[in-house]
Structure 1
Amino acid sequence: MKIKSPSHEILYMPDGEAILKNIELAGRTCYKSEDKITPDSAAAFIRRITRSGHHSVIEHMNITVRFICDRGVSHELVRHRLAAYSQESTRYANYAHDKFGNEITVIRPFFWAEDSPAYQDWLSAMAHAEQIYLKLIREGASPQEARSVLPNSLKTEVVMTANLREWKHVLNLRCSRAAHPQIREIMLPLLADLHKRVPVVFEQEYEKYGNNETPAG
């Protein structure tokens, strides 16, 4: 059994300057103010419209992110409907095969210290789930049947594509202290990454949550 931490990877995101210029060009269509475009006008324009709540303009640009997380977190993630998803399927992924190392991979719950009784109980439960899953496969069960015993902590990969407005919405909900700690564990680093790449679009979220320590920290 492998144990790993969650992570994110930005698979597709245009250059920050290209994002701003495309948004400004689209947005100025509303006011027919294209003549006011200058080499450095985009950031100020986008800051004004986002601060005023005119977020429809930033829907013109998309970002694609790959998340590695546990199945429980993935169930929360895919509730955001204004997005496209592709997820690792336990119907077809046979973890008894060599390509998976003949073992399952689970996501470590950061909120339990590895020397705590709770972590040891979790570890025992994961090992038992793996043992029964592999036994079912050996006995002739298909992956989609054997997955019935797999835990919420099972590692999964989810590729998510959404426009900038939806990403802001997702980050506002999932970086909040009211969110589940394990989804904050992946969303706070993503917020920092996106803010670094295109700060003016995500500055409001970063002002609210950027100074928060990640739950794992």
Structure 2
Amino acid sequence: MKIINAQAYIESDVIGEQLLKSIERYGRVCYKSEDKITDISAQNFAKSIMKMGHESVIEHCSVTVRVICDRGVSHEIVRHRIASYSQESTRYCNYSNEKFGNELVFIKPCFWTGNSAEDAEMYRIWEASLKEVETNYLSLISLGATPQEARTVLPNSLKTEIVMTMNLREWRHFLKLRTDIKAHPQMREVANIILREFKERIPVIFDDIDFKIS
């Protein structure tokens, strides 16, 4: 059994300034102001349309992200409809095989930090439960169950990988909802990782969305 932290990686070749240049080129069609395009005008144009709420323009650009999270979080992610998804399948992945290390991988809950006796005990119970799950899953496979049959014992904590593509406007919607303090802590953990990457790589578009840790 292996326990890892949630992760997220940008799969697209994101060049932030180039994205802004594309946004400007598409957006200026609305105003027929293409003659105002210069080598340095894209960022100001993007700031202007974001301030006006003219976000339909940024729908022309999309970014693909690979998220490594637990199955519970992935169920929340796929509720966002304006997106494309490809997800690791428990029907076809046989975790008893060598390529999976003959073991199950689980995502560590970010809310049990171990800073208190209660936290430590809850984490111990969680970990013990998953050890039993792994034993039962591998036993079912060894008895001849198929992966799609054995997966019935797998919990929300099971690690999954999901590749998701959204346009920039939908990413803004996703991150506003999923970084909010009302979001599930593990969902917020993933969203904050993505937001941090976007803020570093893409100027202007995500500047108004703040990190919310608790």
- TM-score normalised to the size of structure 2? 0.95
What residue number does 1:77 align with?
Answer: 77
Name the structure, 1 or 2, with higher relative contact order (CA <8 Å, separation 6+).
2
Give 5+ residue unaligned stretches, structure 1.
none
1:184 and 1:199 map into 2 onto residues whose CA distance is 22
> 1:40-75, CA deviations, whole angstroms, 9 ceiling, x for partnerless residues?
111111111112111110011110000000000000
> 1:132-156, CA deviations, whole angstroms, 9 ceiling, x for partnerless residues?
1011001110000000000100000
1:28–1:34 Cα contact (<8 Å) kept: yes
1:113 and 1:15 map into 2 onto residues whose CA distance is 36
Q: Which amino acid in structure 1 is aligned with residue 135 of structure 2?
A: Q
Q: Which amino acid in structure 2 is aligned with residue 155 of structure 1?
A: K
What residue number does 1:32 align with?
Answer: 32
2:136 and 2:197 map into 1 onto residues whose CA distance is 39
1:13–1:62 Cα contact (<8 Å) kept: no
2:12–2:63 Cα contact (<8 Å) kept: yes
Q: Which amino acid in structure 2 is aligned with residue 161 of structure 1?
A: T
Give 5+ residue unaligned stretches, structure 2.
none
Alignment match of 1:137 (pick from 132, 141, 159) = 141
State how 1:51-62 maps to structure 2 within 5 Å: 51-62=51-62
1:78 and 1:68 map into 2 onto residues whose CA distance is 14
State how 1:55-204 maps to structure 2 within 5 Å: 55-114=55-114, 116-204=120-208
* Count of residues in correspondence between the two structures: 210
2:152 and 2:43 map into 1 onto residues whose CA distance is 50
Q: Does 1:11 align with 2:11?
A: yes
Q: Which amino acid in structure 1 is aligned with residue 164 of structure 2?
A: M
Structure 1 segments (4+ residues) deviating >4 Å: none
